[in-house]
Amino acid sequence: MTAFPEIPRIEYEGPDSDNPLAFRWYNPDELVEGKSMRDQLRFSIVYWHTFRGTGSDPFGPGTALRPWEDGTDSVDNACRRARVAFELFEKLQAPFYAFHDRDVAPEGASLRESNDNLDAVADVLLEEQKRSGVKLLWGTANLFSNPRFMHGAATSCNADVFAYAAAQVKKAIEVTHRLGGENYVFWGGREGYQNLYNTDMKRELDHLAKFFHMAIDHAKQIGFTGPFLIEPKPKEPTKHQYDSDAAACLNFLRQYDLLDHFKLNLETNHATLAGHTMMHELDYAGIQGALGSIDANTGDLLLGWDTDQFATDYYLTTQVMLTILKHGGLASGGVNFDAKVRRESFEPIDLFYAHIGSMDAFAKGLKIAAAIRADNALDGFIARRYASWDTGVGAEIEAGRAGFADLEKYMLEKGEADANVSGRQERLEAVVNRYLDRL
Ligand code: XLS
Ligand code: NI
Ligand code: NI
Each residue's pLDDT tens digit, 54-74: 999 999 999 999 999 999 999
Query: What is the distance between the alpha carbons of residues 22 and 17, in angstroms, rounded to a whole number?
Result: 8
For residue 101, give the ligand nearest its CA: 1
**What local confidence, expressed as pLDDT, does residue 68 receive?**
98
Is the separation of the CB atoms in 75 and 105 below 8 Å? yes
Average pLDDT over residues 370-383: 97
Query: Ligand 1 atom 8: the closest Cα is on which residue?
Result: 338
* Distance from Cα 43 to the centre of ligand 2, integer Å: 14
pLDDT tens per residue, range 147-161: 999 999 999 999 999
Angle at 70 between CA 64 and CA 74, to 5 degrees: 115
**What local confidence, expressed as pLDDT, does residue 314 receive?**
98
Measured over the CA atoms of residue 229, residue 53, residue 71 and residue 123, the dihedral's sign is negative
Query: Ligand 1 atom 10: the closest Cα is on which residue?
Result: 187
Report the residue among 184, 265, 267 best suited for mutation to probe ligand 1: largest number of ligand atoms under 8 A from its CB. 267
Query: What is the distance between the alpha carbons of residues 81 and 104, in angstroms, rounded to a whole number?
Result: 8
Average pLDDT over residues 181-200: 98
Angle at 365 between CA 363 and CA 367, to 5 degrees: 70
Residues contacting 404, CB < 8 A, separation 6+? none
For residue 100, give the ligand nearest its CA: 1
* Distance from Cα 168 to the centre of ligand 3, integer Å: 21
| Greatest Cα-to-Cα distance within the chain, rounded to the nearest angstrom | 83
| Structure confidence at residue 1 as a pLDDT band (50, 70, 90) | confident
| Structure confidence at residue 439 as a pLDDT band (50, 70, 90) | confident
Query: What is the distance between the alpha carbons of residues 256 and 401, in angstroms, rounded to a whole number?
Result: 33
**What local confidence, expressed as pLDDT, does residue 143 receive?**
98
Beta bridge partners of 337: 45
Q: How many CB atoms lie within 10 A of CB 171?
A: 17
* Distance from Cα 107 to the centre of ligand 1, integer Å: 18
Beta bridge partners of 299: none
The SS3 assignment for 166 reads helix
pLDDT tens per residue, range 244-280: 999 999 999 999 999 999 999 999 999 999 999 999 9
Average pLDDT over residues 339-354: 98
* Distance from Cα 277 to the centre of ligand 2, integer Å: 16
Average pLDDT over residues 179-202: 98
Average pLDDT over residues 401-405: 98
Q: Tell me the pLDDT of the chain averaged across its residues.
A: 98
Q: What is the CA radius of gyration of the chain?
A: 24
Query: What is the distance between the alpha carbons of residues 373 and 337, in angstroms, rounded to a whole number?
Result: 25
Asked if residue 49 has pLDDT above 80, the reply is yes
Beta bridge partners of 267: 295
**What local confidence, expressed as pLDDT, does residue 56 receive?**
97
Residues with CB under 6 A from ligand 1: 100, 140, 185, 187, 231, 233, 267, 295, 306, 338
H helix and E strand count, the chain: 16, 14
Q: What does the CA dihedral 256, 259, 263, 267 come to, rounded to 10 degrees?
A: 40
Query: What is the distance between the alpha carbons of residues 98 and 81, in angstroms, rounded to a whole number?
Result: 15
Query: What is the distance between the alpha carbons of residues 77 and 72, in angstroms, rounded to a whole number?
Result: 7
Beta bridge partners of 98: 46, 138
Beta bridge partners of 85: none
Is the separation of the CB atoms in 144 and 237 below 8 Å? yes
Q: What is the DSSP letter of 181?
A: -
Measured over the CA atoms of residue 238, residue 191, residue 264 and residue 37, the dihedral's sign is negative
Q: How many CB atoms lie within 10 A of CB 1?
A: 8
**What local confidence, expressed as pLDDT, does residue 304 receive?**
85
